[in-house]
Amino acid sequence: MRAMHIAAPGGPEALQPTDWPVPEPGAGQILIRIAWAGVNRPDALQRAGAYDPPPGASPLPGLEAAGHVAALGPGVTGWELGDPVCALLPGGGYAEYAVTSAAHALPVPQGMALREAACLPETLFTVWSNVVTRGGLRAGERFLVHGGSSGIGTTAIQLARALGARVFATAGSPAKCAACAELGATAINYREEDFVEVLRAEDGADLILDMVGGSYIPRNLRALADDGRLVMIAFLEGRTAEVNFAQIMARRLTVTGSTLRPQSELAKARIAADLRTQVWPLIEAGRLSPVMDSEFPLDRAAEAHARMESSGHIGKIVLKVA
Ligand SMILES: NC(=O)c1ccc[n+]([C@@H]2O[C@H](COP(=O)([O-])OP(=O)(O)OC[C@H]3O[C@@H](n4cnc5c(N)ncnc54)[C@H](OP(=O)(O)O)[C@@H]3O)[C@@H](O)[C@H]2O)c1
């Protein structure tokens, strides 16, 4: 099959076309003939050599895709050959075929094109597990997401709004702020405004989803309301910070975080089951859909990565495979 592999860790040009064997589905797995593959920031980290695939995963990049079921491994039930499917992948999405656990695959929501469906899994698994399961977001709460125009951010805004939260989002340009506002967030251009002041004027955030880290860590704590929760999902600025832990005690704050890829098969299957019952109805009711930035053919994945790393994009970047 055609695939894009990481020839050697480096910049976007490290992504090179290659011929690769079609993977075989093992017990409990399905083989997907991929039509579209989503591009995510962790793919760029993997390409740069900063995010190794977990043991047993394909070394090819690509954490999500949509297409059709092409083969069933032993013991798989609930899927038929030819079913349209979108799925979280352990890796290997930048290719014509990929295998994944049948329990990490979801039906393409009614009325949605495969191009959009390919952009659902990685962001929704991440946002659901961190904002709802871990972060405990409830209706009526104030929720702040950093990187509001990112794939993760645009999904988090929509999901939090659909759950009845009041949403604030930071972004780095007027166009990105406009995109966040259109999705229902109060947008904060962090180059012009201090998000801590904006949130403190509103009595603080009950929950913050942060992918920036570094200097944002102590500022996030200041922006939280009493009993507020901070959930870390990435460290684009930095992994370390000096923090006054006394405020965590005095104001009963919770600091937590998670990363999706190394979690167990069972943990991901539980997230998929939650998405199917709690989020797929919202998608099918038109309350949540991926914000699409751009598409590139599979063999131009390097350009897709360059666009993502330029941070010029708003929403999701996708690769056309078939
Ligand atoms: N923990 C997990 O399981 C998990 C899973 C998936 C993704 N992630 C992480 O979540 C983040 C978003 O992923 P994505 O795929 O949605 O990526 P993305 O679309 O590229 O989003 C990154 C966003 O971060 C903002 N940003 C703020 N400070 C930045 C900085 N110092 N450097 C670069 N960007 C900065 C950028 O917007 P501005 O221009 O407005 O700054 C950009 O929109 C990534 O860091 C990714 O690694 C974590």
pLDDT of residue 26: 97
Kindly give the number of the ligand 1 atom that is closest to the alpha carbon of 212: 28
Residue spans of beta strands (DSSP E) within 40-124 = 64-72, 84-88, 97-101, 105-107
> Looking at ligand 1, which residue's alpha carbon is closest to its atom 41?
172
Cα 107 to ligand 1 centre (Å): 27
pLDDT (0 to 100) of residue 286: 96
Residue type, 192: E
Of the candidates 177, 133, 195, 178, the residue with the CA atom closest to the CA atom of residue 159: 133
Instruction: Tell me what pLDDT residue 50 has.
Output: 94
In this structure, the residue with its CA closest to atom 46 of ligand 1 is 41
pLDDT-flagged residues of the chain (< 70): none
pLDDT at 44: 98
pLDDT at 234: 97
| Collapsed DSSP state (helix, strand, coil) of residue 233 | coil
Total-model pTM: 0.97
Ligand 1 within 6 A of 236 CB? yes
How many other CB atoms are there within 10 angstroms of residue 108's CB atom?
Answer: 21
pLDDT number for residue 175:
98
308 close to ligand 1 (CB < 6 Angstrom): yes
